[in-house]
């Protein structure tokens, strides 16, 4: 059987946030003028399989949990399913192992007169965090004798229904009140802001986001409000259309105008997000000396900073963490490197870490630097719906160029627009994003065919194919104005797995039942002629 090599490369294209469902008025995939993608999704001239990309198929606690980019790339790159962050935290809470490690030192600060600050996404989306994890930490801290607890809330509107910040804030305020009544602790909100403009930047796309978080959570110098409820009410009144994820940063202050929860020397800070990509930069701001990403000023002395999990094992971020993560070996890229084949990973900034760190089993370093290249295309720093094409053309440019070089046996790339624009809930912009990706895929497909190689096209999870919230019977939900409520979160949709093989091989769907993202890895290695580790899931296709 012929195999892919540098002259006939295997090109993996991941369309981020691109699921498969029936046509609808909010399905950007089917609304788009996208002839190449539509032909592939119909199985014309290719092998087509649909894959599960959510829930237990990708290591999440239940099949009600939507997939995400971190999880999707983790599982595709690993070639098998393993417990993801949410499930790891749930297990650590069940066994009590979460209270080992740095927890005694954290609560020790709280018993000795210091504050314990909890910074993270106030959400039950189970993508970056879960409010029940925060509740468990707060309750245990109070039980263990900590006297001063502060929550710094980041609002979601992305992994959960938009416009729900008030609900999560109200539920958390009730929990804080119960802790005050039951334990006599000083438990309160200290600050807040929307996740996309406060604190949760990733891949160094925009350090201004982190700077706003610093001002709100640490310095206590963001716009002052007497309570979270007042802040949300005022911000909604000023801009009724504002999404939870773009709520401006604010600080809660007392009657004297001073911040009630600013970080002081000797305090402890717990980053309660379990997913690392959007916590790493804020952690760096809390710990790095020297620091020049923004005008931070001096650090409060003697801070103890811990994360929920290990966010980056190679960089050692964070130094302290509550839940031990699973490091995955024998990933697809590691096996390709062992086989002596050259490979390149390509993505724009918004998804660069996904085709590198997450794909490689939570590892930043290359397996063989002599055989690997990483290509990052800087993302635009504008709202995604304003330039919905994002860097689709530039990503295609790099793929086509690398195919033409005939140096790389394996090329993997991510197109970010389906996910990032899909998160806006804007149907027209998302449709334009799909159309831009279609033009890019057309060019890539031509280059693959000219090289006699193989194109594998798939996705990490769904998003832009469902852009309106629906009730249990599938009916669109409408808001007070009678208009459909935009859906800005991921979906439970299956994703495509498409193979266009110009090597003349007989590629057929395998007999594996209910295939998922975990079945991709063995298929890729088989096409490359690389031995498949015994731990891998069965291939989703057979190649003859």
For the question of residue 489 being annotated catalytic, the response is no
346: closest CA among 287, 410, 416, 395?
395
Q: Coil, helix or strand for 25?
A: coil
User: Which tokens go with 110?
Assistant: 């709280």
* Contact by Cβ (8 Å): 278, 202: yes
- Give first-to-last CA distance, the chain, whole Å: 6
128: closest CA among 63, 83, 190, 84?
84
Torsion of Cα atoms, 376 then 377 then 381 then 383, to 10°: -110
Q: Coil, helix or strand for 542?
A: strand
**Rounded CA gap, 232 and 173, in Å?**
13
* Contact by Cβ (8 Å): 460, 16: yes
Helix (H) or strand (E) holding 269: strand 268-271
* Contact by Cβ (8 Å): 230, 279: no
**Rounded CA gap, 526 and 543, in Å?**
7
User: Which tokens go with 198?
Assistant: 């406060």
Catalytic residue among 69, 379, 489, 493: 69
User: Which tokens go with 39?
Assistant: 């032909």
Any idea which residues carry the catalytic annotation?
Answer: 69
């Amino acid at each position: 059987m012929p195999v892919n090599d540098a002259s006939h490369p295997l090109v993996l294209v991941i369309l981020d946030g691109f699921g498969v469902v029936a046509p609808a008025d909010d399905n950007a995939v089917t609304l788009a003028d996208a002839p190449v993608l539509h032909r592939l999704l119909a199985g014309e001239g290719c092998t087509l399989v649909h894959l599960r990309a959510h829930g237990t198929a990708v290591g999440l606690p239940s099949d009600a949990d939507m997939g995400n980019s971190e999880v999707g790339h983790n599982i595709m790159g690993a070639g098998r399913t393993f417990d993801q962050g949410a499930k790891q935290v749930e297990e650590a809470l069940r066994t009590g192992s979460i209270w080992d490690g740095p927890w005694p030192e954290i609560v020790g600060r709280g018993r000795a007169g210091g504050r314990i600050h909890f910074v993270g996404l106030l959400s039950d989306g189970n993508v970056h965090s879960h409010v029940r994890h925060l509740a468990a930490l707060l309750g245990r801290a109070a039980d263990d004798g900590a006297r001063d607890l502060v929550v710094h809330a980041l609002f979601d509107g992305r992994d959960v229904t938009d416009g729900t910040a008030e609900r999560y804030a109200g539920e958390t305020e009730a929990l804080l009140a119960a802790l005050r009544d039951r334990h006599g602790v000083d438990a309160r909100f200290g600050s807040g802001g929307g996740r996309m403009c406060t604190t949760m930047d990733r891949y160094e796309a925009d350090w201004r986001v982190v700077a706003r978080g610093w001002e709100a959570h640490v310095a206590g110098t963001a716009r002052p409000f007497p309570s979270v409820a007042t802040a949300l009410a005022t911000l909604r009144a000023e801009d009724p259309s504002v999404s939870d994820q773009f709520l401006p940063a604010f600080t809660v202050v007392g009657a004297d105008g001073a911040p009630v929860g600013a970080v002081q020397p000797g305090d402890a800070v717990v980053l309660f997000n379990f997913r690392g990509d959007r916590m790493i930069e804020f952690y760096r701001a809390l710990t790095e000396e020297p620091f020049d990403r923004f005008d931070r000023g001096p650090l409060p002395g003697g801070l103890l900073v811990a994360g929920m999990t290990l966010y980056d094992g190679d960089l050692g971020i964070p130094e302290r963490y509550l839940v031990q993560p699973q490091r995955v070996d024998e990933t697809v890229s590691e096996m390709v490197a062992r086989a002596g084949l050259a490979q390149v990973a390509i993505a724009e900034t918004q998804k660069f870490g996904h085709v590198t760190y997450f794909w490689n089993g939570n590892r930043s370093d290359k397996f063989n630097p002599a055989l690997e290249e990483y290509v990052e295309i800087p993302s635009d720093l504008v709202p995604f719906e304003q330039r919905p094409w994002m860097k689709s053309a530039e990503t295609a440019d790099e793929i086509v160029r690398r195919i033409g070089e005939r140096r790389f046996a394996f090329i993997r790339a991510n197109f970010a627009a389906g996910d990032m624009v899909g998160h806006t809930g804007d149907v027209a912009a998302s449709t334009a994003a799909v159309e831009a990706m279609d033009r890019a895929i057309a060019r890539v497909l031509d280059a693959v065919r000219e090289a006699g190689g193989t194109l594998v096209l798939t996705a990490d999870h769904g998003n832009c194919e469902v852009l309106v919230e629906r009730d249990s019977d599938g009916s669109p939900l409408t808001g007070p104005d009678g208009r459909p409520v935009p859906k800005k979160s991921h979906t439970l949709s299956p994703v495509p797995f498409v193979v266009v093989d110009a090597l003349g091989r007989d590629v057929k769907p395998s007999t594996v039942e209910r295939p998922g993202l975990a079945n991709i890895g063995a298929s890729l290695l088989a096409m490359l002629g690389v031995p498949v580790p015994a731990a891998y899931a069965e291939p989703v296709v057979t190649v003859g």
